[in-house]
């Protein structure tokens, strides 16, 4: 397979080995997080929220994208409450199931979350025919994106769920006049890995927040 970024060819065997390594790691990470109790997930989420609320980037940024958490992700409810408390603009993902396309649409209020329809992935997101919300890149862009993921390492490498939503969106951000936003991943300590296998399409994260003991 030809890689135009560095004019090299990557063999199909190497690509297959990379995909297999990612899939094996995803399985292991899902097992690790599934072993956590609901109380432990909530405890670590509270620790990370407090870290974030003191973070200079979070304090200075006005337009912030945050994911609505699934059961195996750091809880973001308190973060969303804090965004509205301080009058920051809050954007949330809308995933297109048939592709790797994702938009970040403005959330109007805390109460707005409860009105969002549930997808088949059991995620709340704006409906496809909801035209009343600002898409972040159609306006002033984003200052900060809080990133989900299945696994992370300390070099900024991230393992997602394999659909490429965030990597594709970050490439769009890079082309936006406001440039690439700062990225902070929120991770349970059990999601930290020695090394995440990546390819040329994986965009590095600026910083990983986790409970550092």
Is 159 known to sit in a ligand binding site?
yes
Alpha-carbon span 24 to 12, nearest angstrom? 18
Is 23 known to sit in a ligand binding site?
yes
Is 166 known to sit in a ligand binding site?
yes
Alpha-carbon span 183 to 26, nearest angstrom? 21
Is 162 known to sit in a ligand binding site?
yes
Alpha-carbon span 118 to 164, nearest angstrom? 21
Is 161 known to sit in a ligand binding site?
yes
Q: Which DSSP state fits 156?
A: S
Is 24 known to sit in a ligand binding site?
yes
Residue whose pair of structure tokens reads 């406001």 in the numeric block: 178
Residue 190, SS3? helix
Is 105 known to sit in a ligand binding site?
no
Paired residues of 145 in beta bridges? 65, 183
Residue whose pair of structure tokens reads 């900060």 in the numeric block: 144
Residue 70, SS3? coil
Given a contact cutoff of 8 angstroms between Cβ atoms, the answer to whether 187 and 74 are in contact is: yes
Is 22 known to sit in a ligand binding site?
yes
Given a contact cutoff of 8 angstroms between Cβ atoms, the answer to whether 149 and 157 are in contact is: no
Is 171 known to sit in a ligand binding site?
no
Is 164 known to sit in a ligand binding site?
yes
What's phi and psi for 77, nearest 5 deg?
-60, -45
Alpha-carbon span 162 to 102, nearest angstrom? 14
Is 73 known to sit in a ligand binding site?
yes
Q: Which two tokens stand for residue 12?
A: 């199909």
Annotated binding site for substrate: 68, 73
- Annotation: binding site for ATP: 22-26, 158-166
Q: Residues forming the annotated binding site?
A: 22-26, 68, 73, 158-166
């Amino acid at each position: 397979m030809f890689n135009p970024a560095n004019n090299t060819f990557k063999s199909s065997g190497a690509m297959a080995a990379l995909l297999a390594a990612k899939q094996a790691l995803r399985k292991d990470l899902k097992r690790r997080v599934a072993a956590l109790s609901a109380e432990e997930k909530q405890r670590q989420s509270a620790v990370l929220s407090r870290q974030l609320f003191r973070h200079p980037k979070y304090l200075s940024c006005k337009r912030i994208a945050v994911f609505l958490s699934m059961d195996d992700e750091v809880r973001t409810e308190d973060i969303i409450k804090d965004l509205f408390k301080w009058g920051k603009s809050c954007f949330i993902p809308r995933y297109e199931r048939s592709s790797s396309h994702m938009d970040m649409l403005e959330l109007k209020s805390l109460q707005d979350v409860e009105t969002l329809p549930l997808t088949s992935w059991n995620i709340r997101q704006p409906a496809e025919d909801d035209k009343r919300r600002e898409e972040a890149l159609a306006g002033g862009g984003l200052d900060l994106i809080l990133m989900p993921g299945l696994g992370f390492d300390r070099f900024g490498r991230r393992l997602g769920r394999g659909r490429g939503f965030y990597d594709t969106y970050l490439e769009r951000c890079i082309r936006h006049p406001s440039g690439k936003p700062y990225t902070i991943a929120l991770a349970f300590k059990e999601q930290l890995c020695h090394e995440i296998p990546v390819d040329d399409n994986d965009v590095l994260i600026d910083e990983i927040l986790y409970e550092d003991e």
